[in-house]
Amino acid sequence: MEALRERCTSPPPRLRRDDQLPLTHAGHKAWRQHSGGRGAARSRASRGASRLRHLALRALLALLAVVVTVRVAHHLFGSPEPQLEDLMRLYGDALAPGGGGSGTTTNGSGSSSGSSSSSLAAADAAQHPKLIPRVIHQTHAGGSAAPVPTALLPYMASWRRLNPGWEVRLYDDQDCLEFVRSEFPEYLDAYRRLGKPVERADFFRYMVVLRHGGVYADLDAECRRPLDSVIASRDTLVAGWDTEWADPRSALEAGHVRQRQLVQSVFAGAPGHPALRELCDRIAAGVGKHQSFSADSRLDTLERTGAGLFTDVLLAHAAAHPPAQRQDPWGVRLLPRVTFGAPAKPAHGLSPADPGVAVLHHPQQGGAWGRRGSSSWPQLVQDVTSEVARRWRHEKPADAWETEIKVMQERDAAQQLYPVSVDFEPAFDLLTHRLGQGERQSGADVGAALTTHGSWQPSVQPSRRPSLVDAVVGSMGGTGGKQNVLVDVGAGYGLLSLAAAARGHRVHAFELGPASLEALEASIQHNGFEHLVQVHKEALGSPQQEGYTCILPRQGAASSSSGSSSSSSGSGPAAAEVEVQRGYGPAAVHSMPAESCQLMTRRSAGAWAIPETDRVAALRVSANGWEGFVLQGFAPLLERPDRPPVLAVEWNPAAMKAAGWRRPLKLLEWLYGLGYTDVSHSGYVCDSRWYSITYGIRRRGGITPEDLASLRQPTWCRLLPQHFPLLLDQGAQAAYPETLLLISREVEAGNATTKGSSSSSGDGGRGPAGGSGSSGDNSSGSGSGGGTDEYGVPDAVSQALAEAALMVADARGVRALAVTSGSGMYKSVEYEVHGIVQGVFFRAHTVDRAKSLGLVGYCMNTARGTVKGEVQGRAEAVEQMKDWLATTGSPHSVIERCDFTNERELEGLEYTLFSTRRR
């Protein structure tokens, strides 16, 4: 014992480096014997815990296997492939006008909405309340633990900033769940069973607007216009069109399941709207039946709860409840793409700077799919089982797309026309074709332009105001006034005709184009305007042209005339064929004999189609060069004392010559002699004139930003008889027509309802005079006296600014220009500069100098090494230009001499701008 104690207390011997060896097997066995039973107990406990873990893991794997097996069996045997009826989901079960009652009685919202509608209608006259409450709903994934991303905060703030009288409500995931539990317990099970967070977000937005009403907006949507300017007092459901695609594959690549689908990220609705109830019912029913719409998970979501379902349901309700039916409380307005569907960057014909944009979309990384939180394990199981089922059926990833493409093609065959709610008061719908399926006129796809902007006018940006519709329909008087008559020749899709009918006027619409005629007749029926609009399916001309004319030549005969047709229209063979079918193509085609023609129609004089008892307030002619002959056919109407006070004519000199009208200016002279002395024009020639006159004002400097704002481009320009040749200077080469607005003041003075004509056309003067029709009148009236005080600009530019203001279409501008435009107002001179003037940028500096002086004309190089041209403008400006040409020139030029010839005085300018020409 003493020896053992001594052994334990003595220090261990110091080991050498070569003695530091690992334990041998024998040494390890001796240590285990020394440790006794404690190691065995630990080992047994460890093995027991390990067995428990293995059992728990096996149980979880078994449960997962059962779930996977059930889901795979559902995919394989429950629905072997997406059902066509599920994918189509067209209008078989669309709600009848009273069909929403059964849905609204589930939670009583229908009855409360009906009572509120009646009370609002009683207070509408005094306060003009909205049927859509002033509430904005937005959702965000997570709660306080997941704050809103900083990048989204400015977009959220825009809704409060532009809508101060509106309430903004933000919901997180828990708020959404509590809302569904308390407000829609019948949908709670379906809401929970939706596998993806984005699907639950879609479901919630429909439910919250169904219950409370208001506007739903995604967090990445930026408000650009006050909602009160978009949503009318009688609106009960408002949505907007999204980007349109020419073919199904392009749509799928962009993440769309319709070639033309609605924006689902922003919409507005009144409480209890039947369309919102149907959306919720369809989602719940689809979850209950385990419907599978596509083997592709993303496409399945878009069809189950997203834009596909949203588009189908709203289209069905828009067909049954057009906004023109004002007695219908559940009208649906589908706004042009510019309103809710504008992108954050210029694309597909839209720009963020477009004045019609109400909402801009700023998609974040992953879009709505990535902002709804991470996928839960049910969704993970769903994705895995979908992939297993797809592989079991030997499907390729592209198979789902091919199936969807086939379905989209079938759907498009069934849906040929789509409603677009025009920005007009009162509201009405235009039915348009899909992209590329309609008719092209004046170089534009009219249906696509109407879908994008809700308006269209040749050669003018759709956002410009006042438009032709504003001017013509405004001149006829508003709703509740005397019923007048519009004659619309070449009505096209019927924008002007339907706008007049929406205000209670009667319309004679003449149209023969197949696609335009289809859309026009469908729009008339859709809006319920059959009693107001009479469609005449005939081509018009002069009395000498009455008889049968060819509108569809045979293939062999058409080839010889296609060249002339295409060159005259400037829009390609397709557009040329459309004009021939409308009855207003080249004269050589229409004069073909019957044996060379597949289809002929009768051409008649328009005056015989209008009853003598009709009081025609406005006549519009869009005839692609046949306008002269058409107006000759209306000569009995135009020459009588109660002639139409307003004429609107699309002017295309090149097409007029192709149609056989040799001297286009003769038409204007004839109309001027009839008393249509107030002439305005809109289009490229107007824009060029305005730019030429105001260019020098901008370059001179010394003008405040407020004064520069007064130089904003007007939509309409004044046109006096001495300026008629300006329409030939550019119009003869232009591919697009100029729109002329002619007013007979003698007739207008005797009409009590034509005050709108002056105000409508006077609005075009807001460009030069500083913002309103009244100020335009004051400015134009001061033109004869210089107008320095009236304009508040330096004396150096006051006269030029006054001249620019006189171009604008208003009544006082005509009288002012008549005072100031005596003989000798303008001067013209031809010149030729000799010396070193080529290769030294002489022409570029000449153009810059001429524009700074407000001159028009041209310059060009000659084979003799000189530069020649012509300048026109005010006499003092021409003299300054002559001095510059003779003594200054460009910095590196050497001027030997400058010859001036053919110096003369002008009553009006013969050019619209100063440009360079090629020799």
**Bridge partner residues of 534 (DSSP):** 508
Distance in angstroms (rounded) separating the CA atoms of residues 310 and 213? 17
Amino acid at 182: S
The answer to whether residue 107 is catalytic is no
Give how far Cα 120 sits from Cα of 28, 209, 848, Å. 93, 18, 61
Beta strands at 678-682 and 894-906: parallel, antiparallel or unpaired: unpaired
Terminal-residue alpha carbon distance, the chain: 129
What phi, psi does 391 have (nearest 5°)? -70, -35
8 A C-beta contact, residue 338 and residue 452: yes
Helices vs. strands in the chain: H and E counts, helices first: 41, 29
Residue 352, preceding bond cis, omega within 30 degrees?
Answer: no
Contacts of 717 (CB under 8 A, 6+ apart): 680, 681, 682, 685, 686, 689, 690, 764, 807, 808, 809
Amino acid identity for residue 248 in this structure:
P
Which uninterrupted H or E stretch holds 555? helix 555-569
Q: How far is CA 596 from CA 102, 387, 513, 554, 586, in A?
A: 61, 61, 20, 6, 15
Known catalytic membership, residue 864:
no
Helix, strand, coil abundance in the chain, percent, nearest 5: 50, 15, 35
- The single residue of 861, 897, 902, 919 carrying the catalytic annotation is 861
For 901, counting Cβ atoms within 10 Å of its Cβ (0-12 exposed, 13-18 middle, 19+ buried), the class is exposed
Any bridge partners for residue 605, and if so which? 541
Out of 843, 864, 897, 917, the active site residue is 843
> What gap in Å lies between CA 125 and CA 592, rounded to an integer?
61
What residues pair up with 587 in beta bridges, in sequence order? Answer: none
Q: Which residues contact 371 (CB under 8 A, 6 or more apart)?
A: 141, 219, 220, 364
Task: Give 786-798 as a DSSP string.
Answer: --HHHHTS-HHHH
Hey, which residues are catalytic here?
843, 861
